[in-house]
Amino acid sequence: MFSSNQKVYFYDADPAGIIFFANLFKYAHVAFEDFIENIHPGKEYFTVEDSVIPVFHAEANYFNPIKVGDELRIDVSVSILKTSSFEMNYKIYKNQTQLAAEAKIVHVCVDKQSFKKTELPKDLYEKLKANLVLTG
């Protein structure tokens, strides 16, 4: 499992002093980028490939308020892997131990020009497969 550490800043908060709900996806995406860099350093999947992997579905559950100044640990795992798509799981802990939220984000590989579904690049598929965590 891969972990990314981030801090909550004032600009991420709503007037109540907790993160604006949508910013959880920003933290998850930063963790995703960190994860991709970790599994394949130097490989650019976001701009130079013939295919791209946009978000197809996203959901989150919030358990404890995340406040300005909280130090977050985001545990990242691949939970589902198919030939053209994959699901990433994110467990967001504040202050290292308190589960504050969970998110799931599904990415689908599409051709950059036509935006039609296509197979994941083989190297990416293999790297994701090596990080697949089955839950049951």
Residues annotated as part of the active site: 14
In contact, 68 and 11? CB cutoff 8 Å: no
Q: Given its phi and psi angles, is residue 122 left (phi above 0), alpha (psi -120 to 50 degrees) or beta?
A: alpha
Collapsing DSSP to helix, strand or coil, 38 comes out as: helix
Closest CA to 53 of 30, 37, 27, 32: 32
- Residue 35 one-letter amino acid: F
Q: What secondary structure letter does DSSP report for 10?
A: G
| Cα separation, 68 vs 19, whole angstroms | 7
